[in-house]
Amino acid sequence: MLRLISAFGGADISVTAKGTRESFTIFRKLMSSPARLAVAAANVSLARRSQKSLGNHSVALDALSPTSNCYLVWTGLIARALRSLEEGNIQYAPELLPNCESIVLRMEMDDDRLALLGSDMEDHKQSGWSAIVAAEQRRQTPRSSLYKVAHHGSITGHCDGIWAELLTSSPVAVLTPFHNGRTHLPKADDRERIRIRTVAAYISSEGSVKASYPREVTKQLLRRVKNLHRVERGLGAVRMRSLHGSYGWAAEMFGNAAQL
């Protein structure tokens, strides 16, 4: 992995491409560290904390991905990228598609409150959400009541099985927005899809970039400009808490966080 990362800008970390410098540093330190490195994969337990160490509480953290098939797809993509090293430094990050190597996590607290953290996982049938849902169905694992929505709420991260099999009938959802050029997530359809499936949904920063003006004002402005965009509203955060003995979730919003 270090060989691939360094290929983007040279083995010397000082000239490694900006987008991979942090990864280069992390991997190099991990390789020289005596600490045990836990590799996340489907059905792997990453952490267990007993009630003895936490007073009257217990916490468990399990990985639901990458699945075995996803890992094979990912290693194939990496091998293909490595072949280009014979020609020298790559100077760009290869597009590793489909994106199925994201790490989906499930956190369980006191054996009765579960949170599903969707990461950037998308649905690629045999190597995405569909595969995760099928594996969890076979294991008959408990359902989560809190869901960090995958892939910024995008339709590519949606799978009916998540809501039907992995979550309770009345889940709470949280998500983060994404803005890059003309791509803005979640879209209006994404918001509606999430709202109708939850009792409450929150976004860490209001993601709409549609300028909010009266209709007549908007029409006049559009006669003079091509597009209207709202000025960046800044960052925010959503904190979810569930008190011991309570099965519900309480949301606290900071900065520009808002209800979806």
If asked whether residues 171 and 228 sit together in one domain, one would say: yes
Instruction: State the pLDDT at residue 53.
Output: 57
If asked whether residues 155 and 243 sit together in one domain, one would say: yes
pLDDT reading at 127 higher than 90: no
Instruction: State the pLDDT at residue 96.
Output: 66
Mean pLDDT estimate for the chain: 80
Q: For the chain, how many structural domains are there in total? A: 2
Domain end call among 84, 99, 114: 99
pLDDT confidence bin for 14, thresholds 50/70/90: very low
Decide: helix, strand or coil at residue 109: strand
Show the domain range for 235: 42-66+102-259
pLDDT confidence bin for 170, thresholds 50/70/90: very high
Instruction: State the pLDDT at residue 192.
Output: 97
Instruction: State the pLDDT at residue 258.
Output: 93
If asked whether residues 24 and 147 sit together in one domain, one would say: no
- Higher pLDDT, residue 54 or 151: 151
Domain end call among 50, 78, 99: 99
If asked whether residues 55 and 16 sit together in one domain, one would say: no
Instruction: State the pLDDT at residue 95.
Output: 64
Instruction: State the pLDDT at residue 9.
Output: 46
Instruction: State the pLDDT at residue 232.
Output: 57
**Half-sphere exposure in the Cβ direction for 76 (13 Å, CA):** 10
If asked whether residues 53 and 75 sit together in one domain, one would say: no
If asked whether residues 163 and 242 sit together in one domain, one would say: yes
As a whole number, mean pLDDT of residues 131-159 equals: 92
If asked whether residues 73 and 195 sit together in one domain, one would say: no
pLDDT reading at 185 higher than 80: yes
Q: Determine the Cα–Cα distance for residues 154 and 126; give it in Å rounded to an integer.
A: 19
Instruction: State the pLDDT at residue 52.
Output: 62
pLDDT reading at 139 higher than 90: no
Task: Give Cα 21 to chain centroid, integer Å.
Answer: 21
Angle at 102 between CA 27 and CA 29, to 5 degrees: 10
Which structure tokens are listed for 146? 């809190």
Instruction: State the pLDDT at residue 158.
Output: 95
As a whole number, mean pLDDT of residues 211-222 equals: 74
If asked whether residues 231 and 139 sit together in one domain, one would say: yes
- Indicate the helix (H) or strand (E) that contains 218: helix 215-222
pTM value is 0.78
Instruction: State the pLDDT at residue 197.
Output: 97
Instruction: State the pLDDT at residue 103.
Output: 92
If asked whether residues 140 and 152 sit together in one domain, one would say: yes
If asked whether residues 149 and 232 sit together in one domain, one would say: yes
pLDDT confidence bin for 20, thresholds 50/70/90: low
Give the rounded percent of residues in the chain with a pLDDT score beyond 90: 37
If asked whether residues 51 and 89 sit together in one domain, one would say: no
The DSSP 8-state label assigned to residue 20 in this structure reads: H
If asked whether residues 95 and 124 sit together in one domain, one would say: no
pLDDT reading at 48 higher than 80: yes
Q: Determine the Cα–Cα distance for residues 66 and 62; give it in Å rounded to an integer.
A: 12
